[in-house]
């Protein structure tokens, strides 16, 4: 275990150094310039009083004294300027490294299996790996400082030992022993810190969720309308209370180790004072030597302490780096070399005994789903909330992989082809959506400006029923979206956003069209218009229409009625009504409430 840990430590250090050299090798020169300057400032500052006292004692001329002091001042000033200048240069370098690692993380998140990103375990793994990139403790950025401080400590120790050659060996041994004990105390603090972060990571995941939710406008409406403020604060406070308890235990460890370190260093300084004073009394060293050596001894102790502290920081960097690399190296089913999906005039879909269970769940969400759809058919997927409608669609789209069973497109296994080419088969409008802070045209087409087919764009906006609204805007299709980024961005209602999403799906023009609750945010007139246009929108395509409103399914060829992750009934509207099963019962129940509401109106 110890050998494996050491191997991981060296491997991660090599990984970070290699990336550093590849991405910004110039910053190595900044470190080479900064380290001598950092060591020179305290050494020259300690040497200056000795030079002046020796000059006065020797009775040198004023000119010689002034020259010596001037040279020392120039050296100190030069080193004092170089050190912070190179520090700023290194700060820029570390920011470049941090952004490079952020891009690696971004690319991985974009290509990772969707279930790994969406699941609780996947999100926690992503959150933990993110601390290396841009968290409160950024290992990627901090690594530059650690390397520089470690190098400074090593060269500072060597320089101090060379300068302290006149002192008794046992004094150096004493300093090393006290620093070694300080190292063990630092290790105890590091281990306590590691245990603390392991326990606080899940709590911080929850707190970050509450924090983000409190800043989201839709959540803010619910919190105010339902008077959830106090309750929301209470559950947030419970998380903070648990976090505080863990931190209190950690702080008790740090208080103890800090107190013991202070006692050790006080003992070390006291012994150093004693022997240096005795050396002056015995005439072994001069008073100027006493002042110089005491400053060097203090600096030597500081460098040794710095070495032990920065070593622990290096361990921390490598630990975060390992989490980051574990995330990057998570295998992806889409990363395998597979053939492109062959083009066809139409696409049939078949589920064969498909089961699916989320990795962090004990129960299956989809339980032995079996059905087949001919190319060009319109299928409605209905059922109660939680029946597995959206999960089934994510399985079909390739976002999830079945736990067991097969999904076939035109008789071929879906997982036998390149992921990107498989994704190109689907145009999907999900319930949860996101718009980029770019123009309406780019949000619909998801293309660069020069690649957009404007005629096709306007036809899709017209089919989706949003063209008139877009034409009324001052900048038309070039109007920005997302007011959190652009203050002149357009405001759209929920129904209008759904129409823009529909236009996006139509612009892609994939052979399989999937609409997941597309009328949820539409008013009754717009909803009815969509039903009337649905056959035209899905012409020549295999389509799936997910809805909880059974009245919206009559225009589909067949209906999949899901219940508890299974297909309870499958057939046309007329066939299912004739069976008088679950579909019939739910249809009659919904119709009753619709008639009752109409009567009240």
Domain spanning 435-509: CATH superfamily: P-loop containing nucleotide triphosphate hydrolases (3.40.50.300)
Q: Is the pLDDT at 597 greater than 60, yes or no?
A: no
Q: Is pLDDT of 45 > 60?
A: yes
What's residue 455's pLDDT?
Answer: 92
**pLDDT tens digit sequence for 129-138:** 766 666 655 6
Residue 3 has pLDDT above 60, yes or no: no
Whether the per-residue pLDDT at 596 is higher than 50: the answer is no
Q: What is the pLDDT of residue 175?
A: 74
Q: Using DSSP bridges, classify how beta strands 366-373 and 412-413 pair: parallel, antiparallel or unpaired.
A: unpaired
Element (H, E) at 427: strand 426-429
Mean pLDDT of 371-387: 86
| Rounded Cα–Cα distance for residues 294 and 287 (Å) | 11
Q: Does the pLDDT at position 191 exceed 70? A: yes
Give the whole-angstrom CA distance, residue 448 versus residue 503.
Answer: 17
**Mean pLDDT, residues 336-350:** 83
Task: Give the residue-averaged pLDDT of 112-127.
Answer: 72
More confident site: 440 or 222: 440
Averaged pLDDT, 394-417: 88
Nearest residue to 586 (alpha-carbon basis) of 543, 547, 529: 547
Average pLDDT value for residue range 376-392 = 85
Q: Tokens for 204? A: 């911080």
Report the alpha-carbon distance of residue 185 to residue 7 in Å, rounded: 24
Question: Would you place residue 5 in the very low, low, confident or very high pLDDT band (cuts 50, 70, 90)?
Answer: low
Residue closest to 429 by CA, chosen among 478, 489, 375, 497: 497
* 435-509 and 346-425+512-601 share a CATH fold: yes
What do you get for the CA distance between the two ends of the chain, in Å?
74
Q: How many angstroms separate the CA atoms of 166 and 365, rounded? A: 77
Closest listed residue to residue 175, CA positions, set 159, 189, 157: 157
Higher-confidence residue of 197 and 391: namely 391
pLDDT the model gives residue 524? 62
Report the pLDDT value the prediction gives residue 160, as an integer from 0 to 100: 83
**Minimum mean pLDDT among 148-157, 210-219, 258-267, 464-473: which range?**
210-219
CATH fold label, 346-425+512-601: Rossmann fold (3.40.50)
Element housing 239 (H / E): helix 229-281
Q: What confidence score (pLDDT) does residue 90 get?
A: 86
Residues 434-444: pLDDT tens digits?
788 888 889 88
- The DSSP output letter for 165 is T
**Dist. CA 477–CA 458, nearest whole Å:** 9
In this structure, what token pair is assigned to residue 95?
A: 């920011």
Reported as type and span, the H/E element at residue 513 is: strand 512-516
Mean pLDDT of 531-538: 70
Sheet holding 366-373, edge to edge: 366-373, 349-356, 404-409, 412-413
**With 60 as the cut, is the pLDDT of residue 242 above it?**
yes
Task: Examine the pLDDT at 24 and tell me if it is beyond 50.
Answer: yes
What's the mean pLDDT in 221-228? 75
Q: So where are the chain's domains?
A: 7-165, 167-284, 346-425+512-601, 435-509
- pLDDT number for residue 216: 72
The answer to whether residue 586 scores a pLDDT higher than 60 is yes
Has residue 228 got a pLDDT over 50? Answer: yes
């Amino acid at each position: 275990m110890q050998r494996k840990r050491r191997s991981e430590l060296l491997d991660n250090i090599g990984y970070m150094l290699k990336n550093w050299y590849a991405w910004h090798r110039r910053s190595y020169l900044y470190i080479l310039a900064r380290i001598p300057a950092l060591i020179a400032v305290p050494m020259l500052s300690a040497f200056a009083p000795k030079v002046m006292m020796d000059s006065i004692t020797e009775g040198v001329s004023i000119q010689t004294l002034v020259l010596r002091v001037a040279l020392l001042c120039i050296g100190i000033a030069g080193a004092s300027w170089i050190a912070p200048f190179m520090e700023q240069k290194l700060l820029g370098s570390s920011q470049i490294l941090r952004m490079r690692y952020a891009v690696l993380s971004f690319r991985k998140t974009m290509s990772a299996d969707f279930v790994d990103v969406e699941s609780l375990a996947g999100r926690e793994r992503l959150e933990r790996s993110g601390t290396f990139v841009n968290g409160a403790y950024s290992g990627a950025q901090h690594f530059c400082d650690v390397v520089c401080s470690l190098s400074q400590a090593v060269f500072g120790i060597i320089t101090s030992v060379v300068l302290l050659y006149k002192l008794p060996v046992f004094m150096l041994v004493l300093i090393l022993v006290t620093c070694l004990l300080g190292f063990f105390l630092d290790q105890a603090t590091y281990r306590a810190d590691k245990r603390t972060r392991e326990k606080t990571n899940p709590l911080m995941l929850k707190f970050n969720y509450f924090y983000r939710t409190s800043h989201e406008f839709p959540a803010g409406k619910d919190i105010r309308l339902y008077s959830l403020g106090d309750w929301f604060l209470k559950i947030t406070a419970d998380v903070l209370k648990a976090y505080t308890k863990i931190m209190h235990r950690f702080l008790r460890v740090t208080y103890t180790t800090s107190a013991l370190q202070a006692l050790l260093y006080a003992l070390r300084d006291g012994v150093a004072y004693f022997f240096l004073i005795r050396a002056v009394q015995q005439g072994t060293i001069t008073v100027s030597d006493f002042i110089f050596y005491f400053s060097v001894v203090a600096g030597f102790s500081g460098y040794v302490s710095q070495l032990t502290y920065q070593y622990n920081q290096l361990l921390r960097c490598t630990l975060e780096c390992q989490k980051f690399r574990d995330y990057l190296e998570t295998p992806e089913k889409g990363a395998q070399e597979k053939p492109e999906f062959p083009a066809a005039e139409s696409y049939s879909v078949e589920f064969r005994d498909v089961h699916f269970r989320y990795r962090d769940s004990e129960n299956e969400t989809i339980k032995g789903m079996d059905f087949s759809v001919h190319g060009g058919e319109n299928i409605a997927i209905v059922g109660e909330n939680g029946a597995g409608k959206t999960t089934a669609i994510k399985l079909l789209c390739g976002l999830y992989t079945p736990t067991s069973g097969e999904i076939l497109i035109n008789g071929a296994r879906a997982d036998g082809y390149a992921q990107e080419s498989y994704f190109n088969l689907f145009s999907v409008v999900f319930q949860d959506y996101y718009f980029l802070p770019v123009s309406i045209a780019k949000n619909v087409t998801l293309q660069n400006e020069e690649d957009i087919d404007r005629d096709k764009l306007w036809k899709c906006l017209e089919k989706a029923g949003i063209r008139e609204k877009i034409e009324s805007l001052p900048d038309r299709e070039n109007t920005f979206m997302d007011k959190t980024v652009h203050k002149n961005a357009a405001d759209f209602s929920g129904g209008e956003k759904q129409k823009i999403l529909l236009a996006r799906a139509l612009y892609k023009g994939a052979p399989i069209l999937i609409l997941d609750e597309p009328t949820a945010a539409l008013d009754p007139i717009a909803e009815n218009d969509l039903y009337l246009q649905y056959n035209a929108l899905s012409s020549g395509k295999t389509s799936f229409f997910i809805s909880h409103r059974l009245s919206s399914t009559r225009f589909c060829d067949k209906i999949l009625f899901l219940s508890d992750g299974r297909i309870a009934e499958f057939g046309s509207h007329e066939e299912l009504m004739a069976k008088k099963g679950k579909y019939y019962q739910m249809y009659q129940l919904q119709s009753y409430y619709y008639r009752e509401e109409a009567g009240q109106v």
